[in-house]
Each structure stands twice: as structure tokens, then as C-alpha cells.
Structure 1
Amino acid sequence: MAPQSSTKTRAHTIWSEKRLVGICLFISLAQFQYGYDSAAVSGFQSMPGFLAIFGYVDPTNPIGYNLTTKVQTLIQSLMNVGALVCCLVMFKFGGHISPRTGLWAASFFGAVSIATQIGSEHLAALYVGRVLLGISNGFFSTYSVIYIGESAPAYLRGAAIGMVAFQIYFGSLIGILVDNYTHVHTGRKSYQIPLGVMFVVPLLISTALFFLPETPRYYVATGQEDKAAAAIRKLRGVKDEVQLRKDVAIMKNAWLQELETGSSVDLLDAFRGTDLRRTLLTIAVALGQAASGMFFMSAFSVYFFVQAHVGKPFTWVTVSLAIALSGTILSFPAVRFLDRRHLLIGSSCVNFAVMLTIAIIYTVVPGSQASGEVLIGLTCIFVWMYGFGQGPVLWALQTEIPSQRFRSQTIGLSQGVSFVASWVTSYCSPYFINPEALDWGPKYLYIWGCSNLILAVFVFFFVPETRGRSLEQLDELFSKRVPARKFKAYVTDLQQVDADDYIEEITLDEKVEVA
């Protein structure tokens, strides 16, 4: 009876947070832009209407056109350069930027970048638009996860941040679907229509932010306890004033204790003492996104399939993204009830085997129909595993591990490093897969298979288990220098009110009182 009661209790508490779940799903729409753009631009590289303007005629290519390696690298990499610039600015000034302000800035740069890319036929304008979009994505990726992470209770935080991975995949799916219907046009509309659809994200988010508060922890950090209580009330629908004051008091005490660990506000403090471990871990986890190989697959999926002589590449990329989306949906209960470490290690090991198998098959029987079918099937497994395990867990860890004093700066820095890794991937990959260069094709996955294995080993030795811990409890665990593999069993002095075990105790107490 106990397990059944526990399951019902958890389902009840999740339902009681439906308002917050809806808000987090909406805020995670910020990542829709990144996913949509990655898929849409990947499709542009195989669109005659786009290539006729920015590429050149190539009778030897399956679609009759091609891009020079230089243009191909710059289209993808300049977006990452813009994101890096944005993240470096956030590392310096992130402590003065609220989550809502950061999201508004992202919306502004996003709208300007889209208009720039739509309105010109010159490569220079296209490049400027890519840089501006990178700045928008930098703000979106950082402040969306901060808003969600600082608003959601501990028992829902992993699933709530997992919505980021869902929106990336959902955006990718919509992007490739739009491309699939417009790539038949031979004129500029083939790529202008997909770009125009992107206006939806900055418009919706910038409008909705007028009706949403800042995060409770932001208000606490700026000495506005009354507004913090009001934010919890609005975000989560909590009506118990006593409980609200307790929540705010615990947040405030934890914040003051963290400030006492260092009176300086020097950003170099993020690389000193116990904060050094947290900063380096956050950066390493962000690099895990690149190590998974997802940056490569999202940026070059259509082009990759075309060069591998897979028929109907747009259709198969659409199918793989739809399958991946089912993985992200299942990740919501997975990150809620399964350990972060187990999910991340398991999914990384599976993707190591998947990528290695593809590379071996294309080494033995390149260009055959059978190898094309294997590429499609295993690619679907790869993106499903990423959406189920790697994506949501890596995003959650990036939000949970940083010090509260430097959360925005640390996440901004880690995202900057992640965008550097994405830039390196975008810049180097064409030289491996483009027929003008090394022409490795799917054999390029030898590299990404090995990087998945390295990710799994790193997580086993260094990444702590954060599931079910409040942000304040994580502060205590890191301050006490608890080893990574002892995080799960360690009993903290602080019992945060929004933790899972607390909610179950409250529910059981209420049942006793009713009886």
C-alpha cells in the first residue's frame, strides 16, 4: 500500500503545481527558437532557392547546388560567435540583469536578427543576422533556465527544466516541417517563410512577460521579501501565508549564509574555494551537450543525409525529430523519479554504441541501400536517447550546480563555453563531411561516439546526484565538500520546504489530521 500511496501523493502534488508547470512550459518556449533555427538552417543548406542566392551550381551534387565550405561554416558558426559575446557580457554584468530583463533583451535581438536575414540577398547581411540571432539565443538559453530553475520546487525542477529539451526538439520538428513544405519553391520564399515563422517566439514571450513576476529567489537576493512571497503566490498558487513566509525565510537565510562565505562580489570568487568546483562542473556539464554530438546532428542533419545518399532526407529528418520528441515527453517522469547520474550515464553509453556502429558500417559498406537504412534507424535511436536522457539531465544540472551568488554569471559562462564548442563543431564539421574536403560522411561519427563514452566516464567520477534537493540544500552539500558519489545519501542540516520528502510528510500529516 505504501508505494501506491506515495505514487498518488506525488501525482497529486504535481497536479497542484499545474499553474507553475504551464508557466515553465511557456518560458521554455525561448528554446524553441534555437531548435527551430538549427533545423531550418540545416534545411537551407539543401534548398535550391537558398543555394541559388548564397551558393553555386554544382552538377555533381545530388541537388544540383552546393555551398562553399567557407559559407557553410560561417552560417552556423557566426550564430555561436554572437552567443559567445552575449554570454561573456552576462558573465560580467549578469548579476545586474534580472531574468525577465534578460528574456526581453533576447526577444529584441531575435526580432532584429530575423528581419535582417529575411530582408537581404547579401552574404554580409546574412552574417550580421546570424550574429544577432546568436546574441538572442545566448540570452534566451541562460535566462529561461534560470527563471525555471529558480521558480520550480525541488521535486519538479528536473522535469520543469526538461521542458527546455522538449522545446528544442519541438522547434526542430516544426522547423524541418516548414522547410519540407517550402523547399519546393525555387525563389527566396523557400527560406524567407521559415525565417518569418520565427517571429512568433520573441513576440509571444515579450508580451507575456508583462504579466509574469521575477523569480522568488531574485526578489530575495535584492531584498524584496514581500515581492518574493507574491511571486510564489502567483507562480505556484500557494495561498497559505504562513507557508509562504517560511519559504521566503529559508531562501533569505540561505542567501545570507552564502554571502557570508565571501564578502567580496569579485567575479573571480566564482573560481575560488567551494565555488571553483561548482563553476568547473557547470562548464563541464555544458560541454556535455557538445560531447553528445547533438550540435552536429541538429546543424547538419539534412545535409548529412543528402551526402549519405539517403532518399527523401527532409522526410527522414522529420521522422527522426518526431521520434525524438516522444523521448523528451517520456523524460518528464524519468527525471522526476530516476537519478540524474543513472540517466545520463546510461543514455551516453547507448549513444556511444549507436554512433560507433554507424561509423563501422559506413567503413565496411559505404553508400549501399542497407547502410542508408541503418543510418536512418540508428539516428532515430540516437536522437530519442538524447531527448530522453542526455538533453534534459544536462540542462537540469547546469541550473542546479552553480552557486546562487553567481548563478546567472556561471550559467552565462557555461553557455558561452558551450557555444564555443558548438562553433568549433559548426566550423570543423564541413571539412569532415563536405565532398570538397575530407568527405568522411558518416565515418565522422567515430569522433562523436568516443566523445559520448568520455562523457559517461566523466559523469561517473565527478558529477553529483542533485535530484530531489532544493537549491539551498545543494549549497550546503557543496560548502561541506561532499564527494560526488555521496551526495545522494548525505543527510543535510537544512530541510527545504519545497523538497519532495517534505511535501509527502505534509500530505501524510494532513491525512492524519483529517482522520
Structure 2
Amino acid sequence: MESEKVMESDKVMASHVEHPHDEYPVTSKTLTTDAEENSRLEHQLSPREAIKAYPMAVFWCLTVSTCVIMEGFDQILMGSLFAYPTFQRKYGTFVGVTASTRSGYQLSAPWQAGLNNGSTVGAFFGTLINGYLVNKFGHRLVLLASLVILSGCIFITFFSPNVVVLLIGQILSGLPWGVFATAAPAYASECLPMSLRIYLTSYTNMCFLLGQLIAAGVLRGLQSRTDEWGFRIPFALQWIWPCFLIPLIYFAPASPWHEVRKGRLDKAEQSLRRLQRQSADIDVKKTLAMIVYTNDLEEQLSVGTSYWDCLKGFELRRTEIACMAFAGQVLSGSNFAYNSSYFYEQIGLPTSTTYSLTLGGLGVAGVATIINWLFITPNFGRRITYLCGMSAMAFVLYLIGILNVWSGTTSVVYTQAVLAILWLFFFDLSVGQLGWSLPAEVGSTRLRQKTICLARNSYYLVNIVAGVLQPYFMNPTAWNLRGYTGFFWGGTATVMVIWAFFRLPETRHRSFEELDMLFARKIPARKFKHTEAGAYDADRKNEAVADSTHV
């Protein structure tokens, strides 16, 4: 009986794919045949061939991901400004001149925590709202509105006369940043073939890194200024991005997956034609058939479209993996090592050296990202990369903590700084990129945007806690632990290693419909790599559908 229902559903959906409008010619006999043929082609498509076949898809995904540069710029900007003499004098209070507070002024730990978390709190709510907005209006319109809103919010931070107004500006700016961080990987995963998804979803991390690199370079160039323009110019630079992104994104094509979910198959086909090269040997109708087939499969597996559906049945497991993979970026110690300027100052390095090391560290992180794209991603799976990267970062953090026993020695101080840079290398070689890619891959297509939003919000929630703790760990007027902080973050990284070993599946070389079947069949994480999905096998499909209805 179930088999008859599936076959009947395939026939109905096939008729829609073949005749979105009367002027479209029939190109296939059945939906399943076309979808399976296109899936087979995607598995055979190498990254170089995919770039040639989807050049405009790559361009538009790069454009949308560029929005994330702004959040990366702000994240390192605020943390680095705490060690900025002119910023300290404007917003801090006088605590006396010491080796670790050479300007004589210092923001208290509560205000540092508040400013660190201001944009994160805003981004949390922006991300949550984005899950609804994208489902209703699509990525393009939501991104355009967010860019316009951000342009207005920058005025508040730029003209802030005191720390309270600065905090308000940070919170409001976080709302659109939350949209950018979750829309970019979702858009990339829906517009690109399988072999390119890992590169363009992880490119979001590169944009995050580029924003931090730009911020570090700007701060290094302005640190000698003794007036307020030393920290106001970095705020003003954030107006550059909306100026060219708004007109570009206005012309971006809609996600074909979004159009299929809305039942607009003709518009979905138009988007696919804009994303693919016309001369490529890829049948747009068959690509559309695969999208419709996957959406239909998830409907049969009882996959809904609300946040609540992310927590039901086998979707709960997918949501857990996405959330933990993203939160792992914080639990690996990013608040300690990525905001290292303040750490460098507290262990006794001069201001100019502090910003030079920060800039150099981010350059090393960029090199690690490229190494990942060239050597790690083509040859190794997501699971082994995540496990090895997290283990290496835990080891480095423990070393930093151990060396703090001899923190008064100049050679030890510089060794700790080098280890912090080494942590950046391991982070962007592994977890830094996979934290963005895995949520975009592991969620079902009907819940992808909401899964990414929940995953990003798990990151924000953990980051808020870390953002409160980190100033107390480092501030000389609070706990003043300096390098001993490495023991705490090394411990959280170790917990993530244990979780990944037992819970993180291998998603490399898996299409969305194959992942649907593997999760529906409840395949253990360590068996994902070698299990045949059977996405187009009628018996396995019916078995998975039957299991999903009894969850």
C-alpha cells in the first residue's frame, strides 16, 4: 500500500516538473528517473567541472557571503578596542598606570562583557527572526532589508557619546548580522552542486576571517592616533559594505529550493538557468526533478517547516549535530585565542607588538583556510577533520596554561603568543570552516534555514556565556588568570572531541536525499561513511517512510 502511494506521488510530481507551464516541453518519463540521473551526475562532477558548469552560482554565493565580513569585522573590533588607549580613555575609568594598563584607564569587566555580548544578543534575535522571514520572503529580500537597517544602526555606534549608547548600537547592529550569518551558508547550499557546497559554505568562515583581518589591519594602522578618530574611523568603515552589496544583491537569483517549497516550479527553473552555464551538459529539467523529488521525499518522511519540527523525530538528531558543530567553535576556545590582542597586552607585550601579532595570526588563519580547500577537503572527510582539529586545539590550549607557570619570562611570553597563533591555524584548518558547513549540510532541505538558525543561535548562546567569562578570566581587576585560561578552554575542547567521536556522522559525498534516508533509517554516526543510502531504492524508501510515521 505504501509503495503504491509513493509511486502515485512520483507520477503526480513528475507531471508538475515536466509541465510547469504549457510552453515547457516534456523532458523525462518519471520524476524518480530524472532525479536519480541528476544525482548520479552530481556525484561524478568534480569541483573544477562544477565551477565551469555553475560560474554564476559561485559568483552569487560569493556575493551573499561577503555580508558576513561585517560581522567578522565587528567581532574582533570590539574585543581589540579594549586594549586601545584612546578607546580606554573615552569609555573607561581611571585605575592607575600599570604594566598591563599603560594608558591608566580600563573598562571594567562587566562593561567589557556587555560590549562583547551586545552584538551577539542582537544577532541571536536577528537569527531567530530570519528563520521565519526567509521562509516567507526568500533570501534576497531579507538580505536587502537587513543591509538597509544596518546602515542606520552604524550611525549609533559611530556617534556614541558614552558606553551606554555604544552598547545600544552594538545590540541593534547585531540584528542584521544574525541574518547575514545564517542566510549566507543556506543560500550557498541551495544554489550549488554537491562538490562545491563545502567550499562555498565554508567560505563564510573565510569572510568572517577577512572581516577580522581588515579590522586588525585598520587598528594596527590607527593605534598611534591620540584622538577619538582612532576608534571612530573603524566604525565608519562599516558603511562601505552596504554601498556596493545592496545593488549587487538586488539582482541575485532566488534559491531554486525555496521556489520549489513555495510551489513556484517555473520560477525555480528560471533560477536554475541563471545559476547554470547554458553550454554546460546539464539538463535543467533533471536538476529541478531532483529538487522536487527530495522535497517530496521529505514530505513523505513527515518533515515539516517550523522550528518545532526541528525538534521532532529524527530531525532532533540532525539539529543536535548542527548546533553542537557550530557551538564547538566557541567551546574550542575562540573567545580566548581569536580575541588575542587583550591576552597579549595582559601577558606584558607592548601595544604595537600586540596588534602586529593579531594581524599576523589572522594571516596564518587565512593560509590555513586555503590549505584546507586545497588539501584537506578534497582528501579527508568532515568527521576526521573535525576530530583531529579539535584535539590539536585542546593540546595547544593546555600548553598555554602550563607555560603560564613561568609567565614572567620573556621567552615564555612570546611562546604563549606563538601558540595562540598556532591555535588559529588549527581552528581555520578544521572546526572554523566545518562549523559553518555542517549545519548547512546536515539539516533537511525543508528545515535547512531554521536548522542553520538554531545552530547559529546555539553558537550565540554559548558565545554569550564565554563572552561574560573571558573578561573575568583576563581582566587584571577581576580573576587575572591570563594564560591559565587555556586550561578551561582546553577542557571544553576535550568535551567536544568526545562528543564528535560518538555523534558526528560523515557527510562527505552525500546528497541531500541520501542524508534524508540515512537519518530516517537511524544509521549510527560511525557507520555513515560506509552505509549505502538507498535514496532511490523503493523498498528502503518505503521502510524509511514507515519508520518516520511511527516516531
Same fold (TM over 0.5): yes
- Aligned counterpart for 1:51 among listed residues 84, 88, 101: 88
Normalised by the length of structure 2, the TM-score is 0.84
Partners of 2:46 and 2:312 in 1: how far apart?
A: 42
1:308 is aligned to: 347
Partners of 1:251 and 1:185 in 2: how far apart?
A: 55
Greater CA drift, 440-449 or 81-90: 81-90
Change in 2 beyond 3 A, CA 1:337/1:217? farther
1:413 aligns with 2:454: yes
- Aligned counterpart for 1:28 among listed residues 65, 69, 81: 65
- Aligned counterpart for 1:349 among listed residues 360, 369, 391: 391
Superposition map of 1:420-431 within 5 A: 420-431=461-472
Contact preservation (8 Å) 2:305, 2:447:
no
Partners of 2:341 and 2:55 in 1: how far apart?
A: 37
SS at match of 2:283: helix
SS at match of 1:329: helix
Change in 2 beyond 3 A, CA 1:194/1:303? same
- Aligned counterpart for 1:479 among listed residues 508, 520, 524: 520
Give the partner amino acid of 2:254.
Answer: E
Partners of 1:460 and 1:139 in 2: how far apart?
A: 31
Greater CA drift, 57-66 or 73-82: 57-66
Partners of 1:174 and 1:266 in 2: how far apart?
A: 37
1:64 aligns with 2:101: no
Note the C-alpha offset of 1:241.
8.8
Partners of 2:49 and 2:288 in 1: how far apart?
A: 24
1:2-52, Cα deviation, whole Å (9 max, x unpaired): xxxx99965444444443333322222122112111222222112222122
Note the C-alpha offset of 1:457.
1.8
1:499 is aligned to: none
- Aligned counterpart for 1:458 among listed residues 495, 499, 510: 499
Partners of 2:536 and 2:412 in 1: how far apart?
A: 54
- Aligned counterpart for 2:529 among listed residues 488, 493, 496: 488
1:199 is aligned to: 239
Partners of 1:184 and 1:318 in 2: how far apart?
A: 16
Partners of 1:446 and 1:242 in 2: how far apart?
A: 53
Note the C-alpha offset of 1:354.
0.6
Note the C-alpha offset of 1:263.
7.8
The total of aligned residue pairs comes to 489
Contact preservation (8 Å) 1:143, 1:408:
yes
- Name structure 2 gaps, 5 residues minimum: 1-42, 538-551
1:296 is aligned to: 336
Contact preservation (8 Å) 2:337, 2:423:
no
SS at match of 1:199: helix
Give the partner amino acid of 2:195.
Answer: Y
Note the C-alpha offset of 1:448.
1.0
Give the partner amino acid of 1:32.
Answer: I
Contact preservation (8 Å) 2:113, 2:468:
yes
Note the C-alpha offset of 1:200.
2.1
Superposition map of 1:255-270 within 5 A: 255-262=295-302, 267-270=307-310
Greater CA drift, 313-322 or 231-240: 231-240
Note the C-alpha offset of 1:265.
5.1
Superposition map of 1:69-80 within 5 A: 69-80=109-120
- Aligned counterpart for 1:157 among listed residues 192, 197, 203: 197
Change in 2 beyond 3 A, CA 1:186/1:486? same
1:111 is aligned to: 151
Superposition map of 1:182-221 within 5 A: 182-221=222-261
Greater CA drift, 260-269 or 388-397: 260-269
1:236 is aligned to: 276
Contact preservation (8 Å) 2:347, 2:413:
yes
Partners of 1:480 and 1:166 in 2: how far apart?
A: 35
Give the partner amino acid of 1:381.
Answer: L
SS at match of 2:241: helix
2:264 is aligned to: 224
Give the partner amino acid of 2:308.
Answer: L
1:309-367, Cα deviation, whole Å (9 max, x unpaired): 123101111111111110111222322332001111111111111110011000x2013
Greater CA drift, 83-92 or 41-50: 83-92
Greater CA drift, 445-454 or 18-27: 18-27
- Aligned counterpart for 1:331 among listed residues 356, 372, 376: 372
Note the C-alpha offset of 1:414.
1.7
Normalised by the length of structure 1, the TM-score is 0.90
- Aligned counterpart for 1:120 among listed residues 144, 147, 160: 160
1:446 is aligned to: 487
Contact preservation (8 Å) 1:162, 1:331:
no
Identity over the aligned pairs, expressed in percent? Answer: 25
Contact preservation (8 Å) 2:340, 2:420:
no
Contact preservation (8 Å) 2:128, 2:457:
yes
2:546 is aligned to: none
Give the partner amino acid of 2:235.
Answer: L
Partners of 1:407 and 1:84 in 2: how far apart?
A: 17
Partners of 2:135 and 2:533 in 1: how far apart?
A: 28
SS at match of 1:62: coil
Give the partner amino acid of 2:318.
Answer: R
Give the partner amino acid of 1:59.
Answer: V
Contact preservation (8 Å) 1:112, 1:132:
no
Give the partner amino acid of 1:286.
Answer: F
Contact preservation (8 Å) 1:162, 1:332:
no
Contact preservation (8 Å) 1:159, 1:331:
no
Give the partner amino acid of 1:345.
Answer: L
Partners of 1:93 and 1:17 in 2: how far apart?
A: 27
Partners of 2:131 and 2:104 in 1: how far apart?
A: 45
Note the C-alpha offset of 1:390.
1.0
Give the partner amino acid of 1:26.
Answer: T
Contact preservation (8 Å) 1:155, 1:469:
no
Change in 2 beyond 3 A, CA 1:109/1:422? farther
Partners of 1:31 and 1:233 in 2: how far apart?
A: 26
- Name structure 1 gaps, 5 residues minimum: 1-5, 497-515
Partners of 1:248 and 1:239 in 2: how far apart?
A: 17
SS at match of 2:314: helix
